[in-house]
Amino acid sequence: MAKMEVKTSLLDDMIGVGDMVLLEPLNEDSFINNLKKRFDHSEVYTYIGSVVISINPYRSLPIYTPEKVEEYRNRNFYELSPHIFALSDEAYRSLRDQDKDQCILITGESGAGKTEASKLVMSYVAAVCGKGAEVNQVKEQLLQSNPVLEAFGNAKTVRNDNSSRFGKYMDIEFDFKGDPLGGVISNYLLEKSRVVKQPRGERNFHIFYQILSGASEDFLCKLKLERDFSRYNYLGLDSAKVNGVDDAANFRTVRNAMQIVGFMDHETQSVFEVVAAVLKLGNIEFKPESRVNGLDESKIKDKNELKEICELTGIDQSVLERAFSFRTVEAKQEKVSTTLNVAQAYYARDALAKNLYSRLFSWLVTRINESIKAQTKVRKKVMGVLDIYGFEIFEDNSFEQFIINYCNEKLQQIFIELTLKEEQEEYIREGIEWTHIEYFNNAIICDLIENNQTGILAMLDEECLRPGTVTDDTFLEKLNQVCATHQHFESRMSKCSRFLNDTSLPHSCFRIQHYAGKVMYQVEGFVDKNNDLLYRDLSQAMWKASHSLIKALFPEGNPAKINLKRPPTAGSQFKASVATLMKNLQTKNPNYIRCIKPNDKKAAHIFNDALVCHQIRYLGLLENVRVRRAGYAFRQAYEPCLERYKMLCKQTWPHWRGPARAGVEVLFNELEIPEEEFSFGRSKIFIRNPRTLFKLEDLRKQRLEDLATLIEKIYRGWKCRTRFLLMKKSQIVIASWYRRYAQQKRYQKIKSSAIIVQSYIRGWKARKLLRELKHQKRCNEAATVIAAYWHGTQARRELKRLKEEARRKHAVAVIWAYWLGLKVRREYRKFFRANAGRKIYEFTLQRLMQKYFLEMKNKMPSLSPIDKNWPVRPYLFLDSTHTELKRIFHLWRCKKYRDQFTDQQKLIYEEKLEASELFKDKKALYPASVGQPFQGAYLEISKNPKYKKLKDAVDEKIIIAEVVNKINRANGKATSRIFLLTKNNVLLADQKSGNIKSEVPLGDVTKVSMSSQNDGFFAVHLKEGSGAAGKGDFLLSSDHLIEMATKLYRTTLSQTKQKLNIEISDEFLVQFRQDKVCVKFIQGSQKNGNIPTCKRKNNRLLEVAVP
């Protein structure tokens, strides 16, 4: 990644003017043009001294990356381009290093980016403070509180898709190291009227749409909600879907954030149940009814919605229904109950919905505070972040706009006071004479609103508490009487004649001249909204709910704690909250972020001059610049000032050896700047007029150009000299290398010539010697060849002589042998003729037997007892011998095979042999069982913890354990049982519980019956009169019938010394209690494939169908 360009001052590469204090000339047009110029170049931040102006770009900018965080970390406020990170860093370092509590005030109208600015401040502080598991957890909880509060407190408006409809002030608490410990959130004036009614093009609070879009079907079913927005009267349909907003994903984010903040699962469930109840309240509708006495009353049209609300909240349906139809008024010891007409019923319903949601929101803030509050009691440093609605001027302004603008008047008042105070403290700290600054003090407007005797809020409270008929018109009349002479109050009904003919001011309105401009308020709804009345019947109905959260939200509904005193009005509550907020802010060092919305289309790259001008006026930004410039427009510490402008004076350039202040004095005297244009403080230089600063910048720019030319000249000279010296050095090196190369080539040529001459001489000598050696060799070879031929001739002559002599000797020997044979034959002939036939026969027979055995040796079959191969008989006379030899060989190899068996294998083969004797050619199932080993313990009862109880009940060794099906005589259906065979007993146990159902001694088993077909059914017959025969015989079905019958037979024989009768028949009788039932096996096709089935035909017949 390329290294980021580092600036040393906001004056470097400045687009427009980075600090409005330096703007020349200072007027509204130049102010707007400067903002527009910077906005067009994606510079959305501008300073007014230490105040940051933030313009919403309506797009993502690459200026909030981790690299940017590191760039602004621990840097001087004016060192880099204007940025919200610079103000955040300045506030954090002041809190950490100077132990000063800080507050960051973020103001602006809806859509100006206040919420995003507060997130950026918190994310920057989270990034630069300490690390660690606990610290990271605290930071995560503080950051995750935002999505929760936004979901419940923000809504889509015509000006902003994520508009905060409440004021939020968060105190973030730090330890002495600057690590966050926790925080406390305060909320102000939630716009609860939005719950029941939204202006055209706007939505209700986000959470309603998020639940319906993101919750699962099961969760919605639990909340008794449907996903269709049109089903709910409190949700406006014209703006239900917002482009670029994924309500389903946001719902998952909110649930995850609630979990991180510390909400328990049941708390989260309770919160969503309350939200669902509020949503369903809007679907309750009323119809008018007339009573006998002529009074109008109301009834609920459809009680299904009421029923579902009561199921959600745990309220008795009749109690809530009565609360919507009657109102009880208590005065001392008297109670008066009156009916509500339809309009009053709708008012009561909406009042309940607004109060329920408003109290839920306050409970959420309290619950979040419990999770994020600091756990330690050490002394803490505090940084407050205030995100509150800006000044509002609409076409129709009501009670909400009135108290919002009152809050902004108070913030403007404290802003001016703290700004002047900060200026004065800096002047005193630097030893500069303080001059009084003229400015507009809006205390007179604040007094008009909040005065305890004649203020508008006091008049409104007095009117609300007054007995008799109270309306908005009577309130306006009272204002006209008390405030008529006030210079900032206007009304056509007042005594002041100058407004009588003002047609722009309707009779039912009054106008206040705020610091940001004139605002006209519709008096309609002031009294009702200030009363914020909720009927006591509804409060008591809510308190009776079994839902713990709803009950906690309405403590005044407790009959034991009835307070007949009227609750405080909304205006007085907000006035007290604002007073507490102002008191809190005055104890901290303020930092300001003024947010501006560039256009009403929420579009990027559009700058509406008229809209921005309107916001500049009501934010009082020009007034702020004038206050800042009333004394000295620019100030800077001596060290950076000298470092920046030292090149303008020969005495300070390039290095100043003395104190920085002395260097600045020398510099300014050299430049002949008038003394009235600057003053020397203790640590800073103060410049009165921006023109002086711009003059210094112009001189610096010109001097930098001259210095650049000088540096370029020196560099070029140095570069040429360096190149010449390098070329000279290179020429010497090249010449030396060439001379060396030439000498090497000459030497190589001489050496090559000498080698050639030498090689020719050596070759001539070698050829001469070779010729001599070849001649000598030919002479030696010729003598050798002659000698060889001579010796060969001599050897052949001697060999011929010896052969002739040998032939003669051999001929004599042959003739002698023939003569002796003739003599012997003549003597033996008379004895041979008598015994020749018998001897020839014996000899021939002996040779045939020898040949037979030798051939059998090579043709012997394998040693497997089941191998039936045997060589073919070669001769007929060997038939009996061949058969006997086959029998002997088979017995011998069977013995060899048996000798390899272990005791266990012998037992298995004995059982297999026993099975063969019992079932071979009798039972069709037998051939399939031959290849299957008998295992016995199929269930592994000792290893399976499920059968621990059964294992403990059986003390004997278990021979076989398998799951069988016990056939019910009544219907032929099968029930799973565990079949256990021990040395002395047969047991049947329940497969699920392991409880023993039947236990039969082997002596009581008389017979086992089964069919001859391919099925697993068998009957165990018991001895009549025995204890086990009370319920009759057992008819069972098993997949291992052959093994079970064989083991039962062998075990019975071993224990009783009597053979167990095995009956194989396709019809047999089974004793069931006192009745005998015939079990008959038939062939038939089955729906279940190859599985035999048993059916009851009548009381005396069970029919088993075998495929």
- Reply yes or no on whether 115 is catalytic: yes
- Reply yes or no on whether 204 is catalytic: no
Q: Strand, coil or helix: what is 50? A: coil
Catalytic residue among 160, 325, 591, 1046: 160
Catalytic residue among 140, 392, 477, 524: 392
Closest to 423 (Cα-Cα) out of 628, 156, 172: 628
Residue entry with tokens 């110029």: 37
Residue type at position 312: L
Q: Which two tokens stand for residue 370?
A: 């419990």
Catalytic residue among 110, 929, 965, 1052: 110
DSSP code string of 910-937: HHHHHHHHHHTTT-TTHHHHHTS----B
* Exposed / middle / buried, residue 741 (Cβ in 10 Å: 0-12, 13-18, 19+): exposed
- Reply yes or no on whether 972 is catalytic: no
* Residues forming beta bridges with residue 174, ordered by sequence position: 180, 381
- Reply yes or no on whether 658 is catalytic: no
Q: Strand, coil or helix: what is 1104? A: strand
- Reply yes or no on whether 392 is catalytic: yes
Q: Which two tokens stand for residue 317?
A: 């349906």
* Exposed / middle / buried, residue 658 (Cβ in 10 Å: 0-12, 13-18, 19+): exposed
DSSP letter (8 states) at residue 205:
B
Catalytic residue among 46, 107, 154, 164: 164
Dist. CA 536–CA 337, nearest whole Å: 11
Residues 1007, 1060: contact at Cβ < 8 Å? yes
Dist. CA 645–CA 667, nearest whole Å: 8
- Reply yes or no on whether 339 is catalytic: no
Residue 820 phi/psi, 5° resolution?
Answer: -65, -40
What does the angle CA 645 – CA 647 – CA 649 come to, to the nearest 5 degrees? 95
Catalytic residue among 16, 18, 111, 557: 111
Dist. CA 613–CA 1065, nearest whole Å: 110
Residue 610 phi/psi, 5° resolution?
Answer: -65, -45
Closest to 1019 (Cα-Cα) out of 1035, 1040, 1004: 1035
Which residues, at least 6 apart from 122, have a Cβ–Cβ distance to it below 8 Å?
142, 143, 146, 172, 385
Query: What's the chain's length in residues?
Result: 1107
Residue entry with tokens 């040998």: 806
Catalytic residue among 282, 390, 681, 1016: 390
CA atoms within 13 A on the CB side of 853: 6
Residue 627 phi/psi, 5° resolution?
Answer: -60, -45
What does the angle CA 272 – CA 354 – CA 302 come to, to the nearest 5 degrees? 75
CA atoms within 13 A on the CB side of 203: 26
- Reply yes or no on whether 160 is catalytic: yes
Catalytic residue among 34, 54, 115, 405: 115
- Omega into 865 within 30° of 0, i.e. cis? no
What does the angle CA 979 – CA 983 – CA 988 come to, to the nearest 5 degrees? 20
Residue entry with tokens 């009381």: 1099
Catalytic residue among 154, 163, 689, 692: 163
- Reply yes or no on whether 164 is catalytic: yes
Residues tagged active-site: 110-111, 115, 160, 163-164, 390, 392
